[in-house]
Amino acid sequence: MHQLPDLDECLSISAACVEEFHENGHTLIHNVLMPAELPVYRKLIVDAAYKFNKEKRKISQRDTYGKAFLQIMNLWRVDEKVKRFVLAKRFAKIAADLLGVSNVRIYHDQALFKEPAGGPTPWHQDQYYWPLDTPNTVTMWMPLIDISVDMGMLTFASGSHKKGVVFDHEISDESEGAFKKYIRENKFPVSRAAAMKAGDATWHYGHTIHQAPGNDSERMREVMTIIYMAEGARIAPPKNKWQAADLGTWLMGLPPGRLAASELNPLVL
């Protein structure tokens, strides 16, 4: 393969974009990955995702969470070429600028591929799963193909990040009902893009309530995500079994109070 495109050239984002992110808890940035870069990195990520995917059950045999997507995590640890994508300074600089910090670390990456006829992703908050002591976390959600709403567009409850974790609910039918009621009662505007081009990316806080509809198209919805945390974040005592699992999986079992800076959490800016 030819030399991989360099993703260390940083992009400038507007003050209005940063303000929207802080106010709504999410923002959409176009052309984060350039058209010439996209086919190279898409092939690498798709090939790695299929190679390391462990879900072999038919959709009909899975629960709500399992029907929502194929989830393949920390590809940067098993594929040197995908590592170039995940550790790119371009993405890290956007994450840092949105959070208003100088440096960010990787929490982990995950490919989220929603199959044709794949079910909806229920309303949830990501940070419910993370044993971190900071709200300064952000996820980049980048489709690798052009997508429309009927393929499973990420959908947000704008402003919902401001109250922190609100329920003790994992992603499930239960979380869907509880969050739907909470969003309605708090009058959070629900918003999503009508379409996204491959290489565009949404960015959302770990506390932003979000979901995605099912994939009603005949094509796999290929999305790559990277989760960042501000440098200086510390490990919080786990509040549920999922945070305890994350502590072991993504933070290498470091004790609460320590910096969230294991070898799995490289400084990328």
Assess if residue 267 is contained within a domain. no
Task: For residue 166, give the CATH number of its domain.
Answer: 2.60.120.620
Residue 179 pLDDT: 95
Assess if residue 100 is contained within a domain. yes
- pLDDT classification of 67: cutoffs 50, 70, 90: low
Assess if residue 81 is contained within a domain. yes
Assess if residue 23 is contained within a domain. yes
Q: Who wins on pLDDT, 250 or 61? A: 250
Assess if residue 265 is contained within a domain. no
Q: Structural domain of residue 133, as residue ranges?
A: 15-233
pLDDT at 68 over 60: no
pLDDT at 3 over 90: no
Assess if residue 244 is contained within a domain. no
Assess if residue 259 is contained within a domain. no
pLDDT at 234 over 80: yes
Assess if residue 42 is contained within a domain. yes
pTM summary value: 0.94
pLDDT at 66 over 60: no
If one counts the domains in the chain, the total is 1
What CA–CA distance (Å, rounded) separates 79 from 224?
14
What rounded mean pLDDT belongs to the chain? 94
Burial 86-119 (b: 16+ CB within 10 A, else e): bbbebbbbbbbbbbebeebbbbbbbbbbbbeebb
Over residues 5-23, the mean pLDDT reads: 95
